[in-house]
Amino acid sequence: MADTSMLVRHPLETRRTLLAELSAELDGVALELEAPLAAVDLRLDPAGPGPAAVAEVAGGPLPPQPDTWTGLAAGQALRLGPDEWLLTSAAARPEDWEFGLDEAAAPFGGAAVDVSAQRTTVRVRGASARPLLASGCAIDLRPASFPRGRCAQTLLGQAGVLLVALADDDLQLFVRPSFAGYVVDWLVDAAQEFRRPS
């Protein structure tokens, strides 16, 4: 009988083992699923006192430049556009995360909407992480152009992703759960190039 317990599972849970086994056979690439996070989509006027007010609740300053991210107390603040951020938390419950941030943003004409289940995360690590992603992503991924602290909404293969640079050899991919199966299939296919010679 199907499991009826209200546990949060990664949408790609059934592929976790496959990714671990594959990563063990790869040279310089490790693919891993990340635990689900609470997340809100914050729309807010970047000028004025709004961002500072939200920062207090969020647990860290909001990144001042689009396509960059900053660390929060238990998550990240990723600036998606001039007036849009994704704020994540590994500690908060989604409904609390939304409520608190929305309350902080509303007086400044902003809004925070719970999108915790709207994206899922895959971690790509290793010296070959960027070459792997460069086989399906058109943006300039050279470490000098896309260093730690940068993020970008772009395409991997044909799926929209939010790509986040944690380090030269450590990147995060936020992807819509409906596209996650495609993205992982794509990564597994592209990763064949990086298999250790048998």
Partner 1 sequence: MSRIEGYGRIDRSRHVTVTVDGAAYTGHPGDSLASVLLAHDARPANTGVKLGRPRGIGASWTEDPTGLVQVEEPFPEPMLLATTVEATDGLVARGVNGQGRLSEVPDLARYDRLHTHCDVLVIGAGPAGLVAARTAARRGDDVVLVDDRPTAGGTLTGTETIDGRPSLDVVDEIVAELTTSPNVTHLQRTTAFGHYDDGFVLALERRTSHTDDGGLARRSRQRVHRIRAARIVVAAGAIERPIVLEDNDRPGIMLAASARDFLHRYGVLAGREVVVFTSDDAAYAAAVDLHDAGASVQVLDARATAPTLWSRRCADRGIAVTANTHVHGTRGEDRITAALVGPERREVACDLLLTSGGWNPTAHLFSHVGGRLAYDPSLGAFRPAAPRPGVEVIGAADGTFGLADILRQAGGVGAPPANEEPRDPTAVLWRTDGDPTRQFVDIQRDATVADIARAVGAGMTSVEHVKRYTTIGTAHDQGKTSGVIASGITAELLGRPVEDLGTTTFRPPYTPVAFAALAGRERGDLFDPVRTTPIHDRHVAAGAEFEDVGQWKRARHYPHPGENMTDAVLRECAAVRTSVGIMDASTLGKIDVRGPDAAVLLDRLYTNMMSSLKVGRVRYGVMCGNDGMVFDDGTVLRLADDRFLVTTTTGNAAAVLDWMEEWLQTEWPELRVRLTSVTEQWSIFAVAGPRSRDVVGAVFADLDVSNEAFGFMTWHDTALDGVPVRLARISFSGELAFEVSVSAWYAPAVWARLLEAGRDHGITPYGTETMHVLRAEKGYPIIGQDTDGTVSPHDLGMAWAVSKKKPDFVGRRSFGRPQNQDPLRKQLVSLLPTDAATKLPEGSQIVRFADDGRLPAPPVPMLGHVTSSYHSAALDRPFALALVKGGRERIGEVVGVPVAGELVPALIGETVLVDPEGARRDG
Residues that bind partner 1 (CB under 8 A): 1-9, 11, 14, 36, 41, 43, 94-95, 109-111, 113-119, 131, 134-142, 145, 157-159, 176-179, 181-182, 185-186, 189-190, 192-193, 195, 197-198
* Contact indicator for 122, 184 with CB cutoff of 8 Å: yes
How near is the Cβ of 126 to partner 1 at its closest, in Å? 17
Please report how the helices 16-24 and 177-191 are oriented relative to each other, as an axis angle in degrees rounded to 10: 20
Cβ closest to partner 1, residue 71 vs residue 139: 139
Min dist. Cβ of residue 76 to partner 1 (A): 18
Quick check: helix, strand or coil at residue 114?
A: strand
Q: Which is nearer to partner 1, 30 or 37 (CB)?
A: 37
- Residue 111 CB, shortest distance to partner 1, in Å, is 4
Residue spans of alpha helices (H) in 25-71? 50-58
| Amino acid at the residue 81 | G
Q: Burial, 85: exposed, middle or buried (Cβ in 10 Å; 0-12, 13-18, 19+)?
A: buried
Considering beta carbons, is residue 56 or 185 the nearer one to partner 1?
185
